[in-house]
Amino acid sequence: MMHKFVVPEGREFAVQVVFQISILTTFIAVLQVPYTASIMAHENMDVYAYVGIVDVFLRLGIVYLLSISQFDKLIVYAVLIALVHLLIILTYYVISRRKYSETKLSCNFSKETFKEMLGFTGWTAVANLSNTFIAQGAIVLLNLFFAPAIIAAKALANQITGAVMQFVNNFRIALNPQIIKSYASGNDEEFKKWSLRSTVVASDLMLLIGLPCMATMKAILNVWLVEVPPLAVEFTQLAILSQIIGSISSSTYIPFVASGKLKLNALWGTVTGFGYFVVLYLFFKIGAGALWVQWLYLILMLLSVFWLRPWLLHKEIEFSYKEVYACVWDCIKPMVVACAVAFGLTKLFDDNLWQQLLLFFLVFVETCIVVWLFVEPSLRQYCINLIKSRFSKYSKQ
């Protein structure tokens, strides 16, 4: 590691410590998977939500402890993150053991079960290589070709995008059991309906959260940071835009999980991820700017949404092209209209903080209106009925 990464002089020990702790944290995160899966399988989403809230507050506590710590803040941050992961897995473990009788440690070995799990996890691991090439590979290449400030800007963009994505990911986690159960019961119509509808809703939610942040990103970073790294605003805006578009593709991954048909999807994911890494390296080699990290990723997301994922859904899961592209079109329409209106609104405000707050509010409101106008009538009626039921419930209290 020390022979490739560009590390500020005198920080070698801290980097080594953080690297080793990161490996430990990854191992802890892997141990958490069975217990999280048990909660998801039983659809106890309240448990998942409560633990998620605890996780958020613990991470806020880390920010405070870093501000008063007298030790190396990088090492302290890595240690505290590892402790939070450990506490969360212990929480999931205790809850699973108490609520679900089947959740227990055992030394039994089933060859057939192991073979099935190896096939599933093996292809999932192969698919994850794509994310590794894209996310971590990009950081490595930036480290090789650019100054640490550019890497900080990219890391900042990843952090903000991850926070924006978390809400949408929680929504998808809540719906995934329903999609998988529909497939397992042989209800193809229900399976396809939930798969495509959840894709549209996830895309709309990502647009609702991401677009106001994109419009006011410069003000957000100026308030959050003492000194904003160069290109941080552009990195973050492009990263959020890529995730808004990419949410269409990522939401249609669950049908492959439900059917167990992961091989072709995993292979293509690895090809595209490795291809992204190689092309990005060649671009940097000929002197391309750092923002090509995000431009190439945006192009990759567009290819996935409009070509690769529809083809895979048609070939592997027997979705018709008409069904898939109708879903894609339902996602794209509000994106185009809302982005066009938001772009016009940004031209009416300057960098004053209060004007940026007003801009954030206006972009959020206009995005809500656009999404509401384009959402399918049945889903719109479902939302109206849900709101009415909530109001009637609270009025009776």
pTM of the predicted protein model: 0.76
AA letter at 374: F
Q: Give me the mean pLDDT over the 347-373 stretch.
A: 89
- 126 is a domain residue: no
Same domain, 96 and 149: no
Residue 364: band (very low, low, confident or very high) from pLDDT cuts 50, 70, 90? very high
Q: Which of 67, 86, 103 is the last residue of a domain?
A: 103
The four Cα atoms 291, 301, 154, 346 give a dihedral, to 10 degrees, of 70
Same domain, 217 and 286: yes
- 125 is a domain residue: no
AA letter at 196: L
Give the highest mean pLDDT range of 48-52, 74-78, 351-355: 351-355
Q: Is the pLDDT of residue 254 over 60?
A: yes
Could you give the number of structural domains in the chain?
A: 2
Helix (H) or strand (E) run with residue 95 in it: helix 73-99
Residue 339: band (very low, low, confident or very high) from pLDDT cuts 50, 70, 90? very high
Same domain, 92 and 136: no
How far is 307 from 303, CA to CA, in rounded Å? 5
Same domain, 99 and 137: no
The encoded tokens of residue 294 equal 């995000």
- 168 is a domain residue: yes
The four Cα atoms 301, 307, 308, 311 give a dihedral, to 10 degrees, of 150
**97-116 burial, b if ≥16 CB within 10 A, otherwise e?**
eeeeeebeeeeeeeeeeeee
Reported in sequence order, the residue ranges of the chain that DSSP labels E, i.e. its strands, are none
What is the torsional sign of CA 90, 95, 98, 104?
negative
Residue 340: band (very low, low, confident or very high) from pLDDT cuts 50, 70, 90? very high
- 21 is a domain residue: yes
Model confidence pLDDT, tens digit, residues 10-42: 666 777 777 788 888 777 777 777 777 777 766
Same domain, 278 and 348: yes
279 contacts: CB under 8 Å, gap ≥ 6: 296
Same domain, 235 and 306: yes
Tally of CB atoms within 10 A around 351: 10
How far is 344 from 269, CA to CA, in rounded Å? 36
Same domain, 208 and 246: yes
Same domain, 50 and 175: no
Model confidence pLDDT, tens digit, residues 225-246: 767 788 888 888 999 999 899 8
- 3-class SS of residue 225: coil
Q: Is the pLDDT of residue 396 over 60?
A: no
Question: What residue numbers bound the domain in which 62 lies?
Answer: 8-103
Q: Which of 54, 83, 103 is the last residue of a domain?
A: 103
Same domain, 98 and 136: no
Place of tokens 């710590």: 69
Residue 302: band (very low, low, confident or very high) from pLDDT cuts 50, 70, 90? very high
Q: Give me the mean pLDDT over the 351-375 stretch.
A: 89
Q: Are 248 and 210 in contact (CB under 8 A)?
A: no
- 3-class SS of residue 347: coil
Residue 5: band (very low, low, confident or very high) from pLDDT cuts 50, 70, 90? low
Same domain, 137 and 96: no
Same domain, 157 and 251: yes
Model confidence pLDDT, tens digit, residues 122-179: 666 666 677 777 777 888 888 888 887 888 888 888 878 877 777 777 777 777 777 8
- 122 is a domain residue: no
What mean pLDDT value characterizes the chain? 80
- 117 is a domain residue: no
- 114 is a domain residue: no
- 116 is a domain residue: no
The encoded tokens of residue 177 equal 């059991």
Same domain, 152 and 77: no
Q: Are 200 and 330 in contact (CB under 8 A)?
A: yes
End-to-end CA separation in angstroms for the chain: 61
